[in-house]
Chain A
Amino acid sequence: MVTVKLFGLVSLDSGILSMQVEARSVREVIEKVASTGKADKIALRKSTIFVDGKRAMPGTKIRDGHEVVFFSPAGGG
């Protein structure tokens, strides 16, 4: 299982803060989160993604225990 966290508008729009999924790649995580019907697949794919704090891409491989985090665009200051 991997822990998935959503931040920014992708989190507000989907209502998802955090969830657990079985997946071997970030792409698979995107499919599974989108399959809940709450989160938009394109928004997830276009997010800034981190796996255990390191920048990742949809093709990044993952394993059990990883934390996958999605950020929609951010700005302010």
Chain B
Amino acid sequence: MDTKYGGYMGKVLKIDLTTREISHYPFSDKERELFIGGKIMAAKILGDNLTGKETPFSHENMLVITTGPLTGTGAPSSSRFNISGLSPLTGLLASSNCGGSFGYFLKKAGYDGLILQGRSEEHIRIEIKNDRVSILNADDLWGLRTSEAQSRLPERTGNIVIGPAGENLVKYACICSQERVAGRAGLGALMGWMNLKAVTVSGNKTVSVHHQVKNKELNKKWFSRLRKHPLTGHVLPRMGTANLLSLMQMRGLLATRNFARGQFEEYEKVNGELLARQYNIVNKGCLSCPIRCARTVSVDGKEVKGPELETLCLLGAGILNNNLELVLRWNYELDELGMDTISAASTLAYAMEACEKGLWNNGLKFGETEEISRLWEDIAHRRGIGDELAEGSRWLSDKYGGKEFAINTKGMELSAYEPRRAVGQGLGYAVSNRGGCHLNGGYAVFLEGLGLAINPQTKHGKPDLTVMLQNLLEMLSATGQCLFISYAMFPGPLIKNPNSFYVKAVNAILPYLGGGVRVMNKFPLALQLHLPVFPETKSFEYVTGMKMRFGQYMRAGERGYTLERSINNRFGVDADADTLPERLTQTPQIENDKKTVVPLSIMKSVYYKARGWNEKGIPTVKTLKKLRLEGSQNGNG
């Protein structure tokens, strides 16, 4: 073994596609202690290799695929893997997370990570079986849609593939793995640029676990707890993520008509209840996941993956489409072509509004849906206006104007939560390392009206809560687990009885605990304990043998988030990049209600202080030292 720790395989495979050189990338136990796995491990690798001068489509960029230590150990919802690299969409560090089984198979082959770099002269696919790596011609796969391409790959392997969109360098092309998708930030285009259609991986190695018996006992209880929890055991299995849409409507959070409004009059024609009642055939889940949040629907007589919440919202309310069957069809088509549904939908919404305002005569109109299937094809193959739509909303607004309604941050389109009615989520979108992402932003909207109901308009406490949530989700992702299991942190009664005095008190007090949360964020190591509601830390200890109390867990998340920020700083990100389109900060969502904007600048400055960053949004030397990231601001981390 190349590591003393359980949960790790101890090797990171590196393949240079230009030279076809195959090697092992050094990653020490000391680095495992600090950078854990998943997106944080990937950031460490990229941070050690990127100076800030590289461009996404260059030989210096890397596609770094990483697993977490809990993957393959029987921990619940732990089969996720991460793909990172410089994003073709944003030009910045991006990470995209995916379910399915690729991560599990990568570990079975004996690797914690896979680094791909360079560019092949011919179309290729890679087959990894234990120590054997084969680089094979893929002319027969090139041009195929994602499901057809996957069907021609060896069976009983984990695989990732791109579709035509990735091949044609659509800036928001995704990477598919079975029915799951690493959707965001356009890393499929990086694979396309590499001339790499697919990777398959298999092996017969075993993931070692430090405390096998204790781990098994813990997992048994943990699975049981998740199955009993109102969200992970009932709502998500039965309704999937789409269950949130109607509540978003009621709270004014449903991004409608390119984020001009927060409510869609016809939401009942495209909501999660209708999806569950009329279209869902069966729910599916990733390996080792008791939640099983994925939907299966029928399109043209085929059973295919149903839409997630974001897709449902943005391809419905976002473009004023009231036909749920069209959303099911488009979701399927976008997966087949290999495009991120969020960025595709939001770029389309921008184009519709630009046309309406006379900025770009493209023939697209809100509510007109007849030609949209053809448009997806045109984008994926870069035909007609599809060639420009393939560049994303930031590029289009640079060319045609209308930046105030090009709904992106750092070049990546926002997901479906309208932040003017959940201002903490607005802050999260703005400062998120990978651009307009609700999860990387901290997902404060869950506290602001969807799970709990703290005042969504107040700025009090939001920066500190955002820091805490971001650090928590960062680490959860790095271990290989799905973020949804964090719902079980919230005791059932807090979720099940929103009208009780206890819940009302929590909602009222939480925003004013900012000071307390800040102390916890600043001194997490004081929390040398395992929280009863958070088995993640015990699980980590039983699997790896490392000490990981709640405080260390939060500190590791903070380290990861700050490292990503530091890398982005090298590429020019500072406070000016942490922004939102003017529509969301200047125009009240409710006319004459000035509170319904995102008070970004004031929250941002509190956020920077809470993170130990200077007023320009750059981590101070003291902060970097505290996090053991010395030198990371200039590429020597």
Contacts and interface: CB of A to CB of B under 8 A. Distances in A.
A7 B247 CA distance: 8
A65 interface: no
Contacts of B326: none
B250 interface: yes
B538 interface: no
Contact of B243 (A49, A69, A75): A75
B276 A12 contact: yes
Contacts of B234: 9, 73
A75 B273 contact: no
Given A8-B235, A73-B495, A76-B236, A50 B250 contact: yes
Given A9-B234, A12-B238, A69-B250, A74 B277 contact: no
Contacts, number: 93
A11 interface: yes
A12 to B, nearest CB: 6
A55 B507 CA distance: 13
30 contacts: A7-B271, A7-B273, A8-B239, A11-B273, A12-B239, A12-B273, A17-B268, A46-B496, A47-B499, A48-B498, A58-B499, A69-B250, A71-B246, A71-B250, A73-B234, A74-B231, A74-B451, A75-B231, A75-B243, A75-B446, A75-B450, A75-B451, A76-B235, A76-B240, A76-B293, A76-B484, A77-B244, A77-B438, A77-B443, A77-B450
A45 interface: yes
Q: Is the interface of B mostly helix, strand, loop or mixed?
A: helix
A50 B438 CA distance: 25
Given A74-B450, A75-B495, 8 more contacts: A17-B268, A69-B250, A73-B231, A74-B235, A76-B239, A77-B244, A77-B310, A77-B446
A29 B453 CA distance: 23
- Across chains A and B, which 3 residue pairs bring their CB atoms closest together, nearest first? A76-B241, A75-B231, A7-B246
B315 interface: no
Contacts of B499: 45-49, 57-58
Contact of B497 (A46, A55, A76): A46
A29 B119 CA distance: 66
Nearest to B248: A74
A53 B243 contact: no
B621 interface: no
B241 A17 contact: no
Interface in A26-77: 45-50, 53, 55, 57-58, 69, 71-77
Interface in A6-32: 7-9, 11-12, 17
Interface of B: 230-232, 234-236, 238-244, 246-247, 250, 268, 271, 273, 276-277, 293, 309-310, 438-439, 443, 445-446, 450-451, 453, 484, 487, 495-499
B439 A77 contact: yes
The interface centre, meaning the residue of A53, A55, A72, A76 with most chain B CB atoms within 10 A of its CB, is A76
Contacts of B484: 75-76
A57 B519 CA distance: 35
Interface of A is mostly: loop
Contacts of A53: 250
A13 B439 CA distance: 30
B498 A8 contact: no
A17 B310 CA distance: 23
Nearest to A49: B499
A42 B247 CA distance: 20
Interface size class of A (residues with CB under 8 A): 20 to 34
Nearest to A50: B250
Nearest to B439: A77
Contacts of A9: 234-235, 238-239, 243
A55 B271 CA distance: 20
A28 B246 CA distance: 24
A11 B277 CA distance: 10
Contacts of A46: 496-499
A48 B484 CA distance: 21
B472 to A, nearest CB: 14
Contact of B244 (A45, A48, A74): A74
A73 B230 contact: yes
Contacts of B247: 7-8, 48, 71, 74
A12 B495 contact: no
Contacts of B438: 77
Given A8-B239, A8-B243, A48-B453, A73 B496 contact: yes
Contact of B241 (A7, A48, A77): A77
A7 B489 CA distance: 24
A49 B240 CA distance: 22
A75 to B, nearest CB: 4
B624 to A, nearest CB: 31
B237 to A, nearest CB: 10
Nearest to B293: A76
Contacts of B243: 8-9, 74-76
A28 to B, nearest CB: 16
A76 B242 contact: yes
Contacts of B271: 7
Contacts of B236: 75-76
Contacts of B453: 48, 55
A8 B275 CA distance: 11
Contacts of A49: 499
A76 B309 contact: yes
Contacts of A17: 268, 273
Contacts of B293: 76
A26 to B, nearest CB: 10
A50 B250 CA distance: 8
A66 to B, nearest CB: 14
A69 B249 CA distance: 12
Contacts of B439: 77
Nearest to B242: A76
